[in-house]
A and B are shown apart, each in its own frame.
Chain A
Amino acid sequence: MGSTARVQAPARNTGNVIRDSALGVVPGTLEPYLALNAAVWDAGPLPAAEIELARLRNARHTGCVMCQAVRYDVAISDGLTEEKVQMIGADQPDTSLSPREQLLVAFVDQYNRDPGGIAATLQTDLLQEFSEAELLHLSLLVAWFNGSSRCAVALGGMPEAMPRMEISIPR
Chain B
Amino acid sequence: MSWIVSGVDREQLLDRLPAISGHFRQLYTRVYSLPQVSAETLELCRLRLAQLHRSDADFALEEFPVSAQQRAQLHDWPQAAVFTPEQRACLEFTEVHAMDCAAITDAQADAVKAHLGEAGLVALLQALGVFDGLIRLGLMWQAAPAGVRQHG
Chain A residues with CB under 8 Å of chain B are 1-2, 4, 6-8, 22-23, 25-26, 28-29, 32-33, 35-36, 39-40, 43-44, 62-63, 110-111, 115-116, 118, 120, 123, 127, 132-133, 135-137, 139-141, 143-144, 146-148, 150-151, 153-156
Contact = CB atoms under 8 A, between A and B. Distances in A.
Interface in B76-117: 97, 101-106, 109-110, 113
Interface of B: 3-5, 13-14, 16-17, 19-24, 26-27, 30-31, 33-36, 53-55, 97, 101-106, 109-110, 113, 118-119, 121-123, 125-126, 128-130, 132-134, 136-137, 139-142
A28 B27 contact: no
B35 A22 contact: no
A38 to B, nearest CB: 8
Contacts of B3: 118, 120, 123, 127
A148 B30 CA distance: 16
Contacts of A7: 118-119, 121-122
B101 A140 contact: no
A150 B126 CA distance: 9
B119 A132 contact: no
A137 B19 CA distance: 10
Given A33-B126, A136-B13, A148-B129, A153 B102 contact: yes
Secondary structure call for the B interface: helix
Contact of A146 (B27, B36, B106, B132): B132
Given A26-B36, A135-B4, A153-B101, A39 B26 contact: no
Contacts of A123: 3
